[in-house]
């Protein structure tokens, strides 16, 4: 079981990032969140969501979902997002396993239902 992100439903509110950071640190320390909303400066109103899992890094963009195995060589012809490198230093998503009644906090708090379980 894992988290699925629909970037077309995401409204870029960052509630998922706040909930994740609060769950991990009992405070709003965004650097501890394993889910991050990012914006691209090249395109107006363009954003996506990064999610670090134990073995994978998921990148949800409006054009689709990209799943990369952590540690595998990246495609040299593809320009990497600047947000990816700091994500690799963070802990992977544990699906808020200690929050049985609520499930993953990012899913519970998302106002647009952009986050579901797969």
Antiparallel, parallel or unpaired: β 47-52 and 64-69: unpaired
Mean pLDDT to the nearest integer, 22-47: 84
Q: How far apart are CA 50 and CA 37, in angstroms?
A: 6
Mean pLDDT to the nearest integer, 16-30: 88
Q: What is the pLDDT of residues 47-82, one digit of tens each?
A: 899 999 989 999 999 899 999 898 775 555 655 555
Residue 78, CA atoms < 13 Å, CB-side half-sphere = 7
Q: What is the pLDDT confidence band of residue 26, given thresholds at 50, 70 and 90?
A: confident
pTM recorded for the entire structure? 0.82
């Amino acid at each position: 079981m894992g988290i699925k992100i629909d970037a077309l439903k995401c409204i870029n509110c960052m509630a998922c990032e706040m909930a994740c950071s609060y769950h991990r640190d009992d405070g709003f320390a965004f650097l501890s969140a394993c889910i991050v909303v990012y914006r691209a400066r090249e395109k107006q109103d363009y954003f996506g969501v990064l999610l670090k899992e134990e073995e994978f890094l998921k990148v949800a963009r409006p054009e689709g979902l990209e799943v990369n195995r952590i540690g595998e060589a990246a495609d040299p012809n593809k320009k990497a997002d600047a947000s990816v490198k700091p994500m690799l230093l963070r802990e992977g998503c544990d699906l808020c396993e200690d929050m049985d009644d609520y499930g993953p906090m990012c899913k519970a708090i998302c106002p647009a239902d952009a986050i579901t379980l797969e």
